[in-house]
Amino acid sequence: MSADPLNELVQFLQPESRLDLKHISVDHLVGLSGGDEGVKTLLKNERVIGSIIELTDDKVEEIAKNALLILVNVTAHPDGAKEIIKYKPDLHKNVIELLIGYVMNPNKKDADAACMVLSNITRLEDELDLCLETFMPHLNDLLTVFANVDFNKKGSNLNYLAPMFSNLSRSPRVQKWLTEENPHIPLIKLLPFCNYEHSNIRRGGAIGTVRNISFSVEYHDFLLSLDLDLLTYLLTPLMGNEEYPDDEMDTLPIALQYLPKEKKRENNVDIRQMVVETLNRLCSKKNNREILRKNGVYYVLREYHKWEKDPKALLACENVVDILIRKEEEIGLEDINSVEVPEDMTEKFEKMDEEFINSVNNDE
């Protein structure tokens, strides 16, 4: 008897295997990959994992689909994602290159699953630089594919490329590419999806990408440049159909003045919070705080604060408002990030934040 019962399945997971037996075997592995223990079992058998990877390009679409689904389930676990990126499928240097090929094939029926695997893999922080060796040459093409919402002709929407880009944008190399690549700045292609109505996943990934870039102060001047018009994209999710006095309305970006009555705020609290956190980061430098004030950010946050119910989002909003309502002579700092907060004070502030969140929850 085989030490590992999965070894017996390998013979049925080959491209030339009998179709009925291949179906049964792959279906069994789909079920197995749906639980933590099943994933651990799969990861112990390199031959089975290797066969599944090869079957993602099987001529039978149902087989290819289920093989990709297994990889989605396996890479949802950090240990699974770490193992998968080690494999080198036939004719490809690694799994990432194989999956990128699927995404960039307009006739790949289940390209969405490939996007999900890439999204899962790029969440790995320690392996991100290693992954980038494969990603970097393809980023421009992947972004072009993502920006063309009708690219895939077989029904895949490729929405999960958005969280993939967000994950990748934690890397300084990708931030530099997003903001400095010539002749076309990649970030400009991504920004419209911050307000993309048809998919929370695309909106969240686009906002997440901007948020990650905002953690690098050296890009703040670029992010708030007139050519980029970032504040239009960031403020749109926070605005409803409220009316502003004319003097306040005149300060808002042109596209946000006199919005229609049917305008509604972003319905996803995680996206709203990411927007506010990005605005907070953009408050780091004095000249950029002035830009935010001159573009009516305080007025938008004031109205948003009246509407928001989530305690964490409320706290994030108040943190930005506290900065913007103060005069620069009160702040007295060119760069807020230059302040080193003692550890005991950090703990005190964290406790105050926790108490605020609890008090809001108790009031509801």
Residue 141: domain span: 94-223
Which residue in 96, 88, 90, 157 sits closest to 124, CA to CA? 96
Which residue in 253, 224, 225 sits closest to 238, CA to CA? 253
- Give the Cα separation of 72 and 33 in Å (integer): 9
In the numeric block, which tokens belong to residue 361?
Answer: 């929850």
Is the pLDDT assigned to residue 39 strictly greater than 80?
yes
77 and 123 in a single domain? The answer is: no
179 and 102 in a single domain? The answer is: yes
How many structural domains is the chain composed of? 3
100 and 64 in a single domain? The answer is: no
Which residue among 84, 116, 140 closes a domain? 84
Segment 277-305 shows an average pLDDT of: 96
In a domain, 89, yes or no: no
219 and 235 in a single domain? The answer is: no
Q: What percent of the chain has pLDDT over 90?
A: 82
206 and 253 in a single domain? The answer is: no
**What band does 363 get if pLDDT is binned at 50, 70 and 90?**
low
Between 27-36, 158-167, 176-185, the lowest mean confidence (pLDDT) is in 176-185
Is the pLDDT assigned to residue 1 strictly greater than 60?
no
The overall average pLDDT reported for the chain is: 91
In this prediction the pTM is: 0.90
- Give the Cα separation of 84 and 117 in Å (integer): 10
CA distances from 165 to 64, 92, 130, 196 (A): 25, 22, 16, 16
Q: What is the pLDDT of residue 93?
A: 87
235 and 176 in a single domain? The answer is: no
172 and 249 in a single domain? The answer is: no
191 and 259 in a single domain? The answer is: no
30 and 116 in a single domain? The answer is: no
Q: 3-class DSSP state for residue 335? A: strand
Q: What is the pLDDT of residue 343?
A: 52
Instruction: State pLDDT tens for residues 95-114.
Output: 999 999 999 999 999 999 99
320 and 276 in a single domain? The answer is: yes
Which residue in 145, 158, 169, 154 sits closest to 201, CA to CA? 158
In a domain, 173, yes or no: yes
201 and 247 in a single domain? The answer is: no
In a domain, 309, yes or no: yes
175 and 153 in a single domain? The answer is: yes
Which residue among 198, 223, 248 closes a domain? 223
